[in-house]
A = this chain, B = another copy of it.
Amino acid sequence: MKLGSHYLGHETCQFRVWSPTRKQVSVHLLSPEDRLVPLTQGKNGYWEATIEGVSPGTYYQYQLDGDLERPDPASHSQPKGVHGPSEVIDHSAFIWQDEAWQGLPLSQYVIYELHVGTFTPEGTFDAIIDRLPDLVDLGINAIEIMPVAQFPGSRNWGYDGTFIYGVQNSYGGVEGLKKLVNACHQAGVAVILDVVYNHFGPEGNYLWAYAPYFTDRYKTPWGDAVNFDQADSNEVREFFIQNTLYWLETYHIDALRLDAVHAIYDLSAQPFLQQLGAAVERFNESTVYPRYLIAESDLNDVRVLQSREDGGFGHASQWCDDFHHGLHTILTGENSGYYCDFGSIEQLAKSFKQGYIYTGEYSPHRRRNHGNIPKNTTGENFVVCIQNHDQIGNRLLGDRLSQLVNFERLKLAAATVLLSPFVPMLFMGEEYGEKAPFQYFVSHSDPGLIEGVRKGRAEEFKSFGWENEVPDPQGETVFEQSKLHWEQGFTGAGKVLRSLYKTLIELRKQKPALSRLDLSSVQILTASPQKVLSV
């Protein structure tokens, strides 16, 4: 079922929106001429109409019960930002040139996570395209784009998005993202998109006006939880499932990274995440090459990966934070905050064998037992890294590993990740030891909210005992400071490190022992006092 506005060609557009709580819903077309067209109520609270005389580029919003005007929850484009009107998009206008692309098996992915706004000085999709040759030269064959759903202002990691079908206008919008994916595929690079289904941003969330998208049954760090298992949750789920299919179909996205699935509260007998897994599996039955779901999960619960026949969710892979923490603590010696749960070479060895380090043991930081045993998994079920946006950006000063350890350790880190039996992921700039921080930045418009974000940020660092002053997330400085210095990868120490990354990636691709992600054949020896690990 298509949600939002669906341009059919010939100046005709179909509108569909879910609003079971409203008695009357109209579409208010704002351009080229002002028109109010009532929608017809269909089954299950959906309202729809197919309207003639609507051109691509038309601005619109919905009028609810005759007065309240709100943008489309499934808006494909918000040219004026989160508070502005929605825009009708003609997706057929873009000419794809990626017919030759056949996808890549997930086991072969070498992922490069990037943030559009800070990857280049321009902060746009277009500007990324210019850097693809360098990434390909490095050996990267998949980029993972931090969320692009429309968020408030122009500076944001993307997890404050409120229009999950939208594409951030300041990044280049619909056209920009398509051009990037097209260029990636032409260059032999897969595109993973980070999507956020567990919460909505605090500014510009107009879903409340339409329907019970949220439930007070569960309390999340962002307030009421998304309603995945209470009354009317079928339609809420449909909103997200269609969103996944939308990215795969309309934008040729190869894989979705699902943000924080542990914050998707759902106790139903057929969980949403399982249903989503099934939807992608069905989608794959009709495509030339498969698409993947990669979950970020803090649960160490193999259910995410297990097949639906075994009661699992059937996702292709998940981020493996334990691997990161195990390696990070050995390299840095840090033991504050959640790092107190890690630090031994035996833990890292365990992660090399099966991903999770916590498979049911007591976690001092969590003050409870944590995780279960990942049965029947392979290396492609785990995405590993030594740096990512969270592990860098959620530090007080957003300092990268390059600021924490010496050059030799950076090389060791690279080898550990890239020669691991898992899917490796780099964070942008890591390959040449970028020294710029990756800080937390927002550009909200509500003063109360800005103050709230500042306070929340300070609160977060208490358990780490970091006492420096917290940089102002709303300020432009943290954003500007977080931009890469690309040229450093081609000179001096940066060049040396980049060259090592390139060699390691080549080695990984060439040696069958490294590219076959069979965990059962991994043999590990550790020597504890010396912290030696032999694989």
Contacts and interface: CB of A to CB of B under 8 A. Distances in A.
A299 B267 contact: yes
Contacts of A10: none
A268 B372 CA distance: 9
Interface in A361-390: 362, 366-372
Interface of A is mostly: loop
A222 interface: no
A368 B271 CA distance: 12
Contact of A306 (B232, B311, B312): B311
Contact of A219 (B219, B270, B312): B219
Contact of A267 (B265, B311, B312): B265
A242 B79 CA distance: 60
A302 B309 CA distance: 12
A231 B270 contact: no
Nearest to A217: B219
A1 interface: no
Contacts of A311: 303, 306, 310-312
A262 interface: yes
A221 to B, nearest CB: 10
A368 B269 contact: no
B269 A302 contact: yes
Contacts of A372: 269-270
A300 B269 contact: yes
Contacts of A360: 269-270
B269 A367 contact: no
Interface in A264-286: 265, 267-270
Contacts of A301: 268-269
Contacts of A312: 311
Interface string A9-43: 00000000000000000000000000000000000
Interface string A55-78: 000000000000000000000000
A443 interface: no
Counted per complex, copies of this chain come to 2
Interface string A287-302: 0000000000001111
Contacts of A303: 269, 311
A160 interface: no
A218 interface: yes
A526 interface: no
Given A218-B219, A219-B219, A311-B303, A229 B368 contact: yes
Contacts of A370: 268-269
B371 A269 contact: yes
A488 interface: no
Contacts of A154: none
A336 interface: no
A476 interface: no
Nearest to A360: B270
A216 interface: yes
Contacts of A232: 367-368
4 closest Cβ pairs, A-B complex: A269-B301, A231-B367, A269-B372, A311-B311
Given A219-B219, A267-B267, A269-B360, 18 more contacts: A217-B218, A217-B219, A218-B219, A231-B366, A232-B367, A232-B368, A234-B362, A234-B368, A267-B299, A268-B299, A268-B301, A268-B368, A269-B299, A269-B300, A270-B371, A310-B310, A310-B311, A311-B312
10 contacts: A219-B219, A231-B367, A231-B368, A232-B367, A233-B368, A267-B267, A268-B299, A269-B360, A270-B369, A310-B310
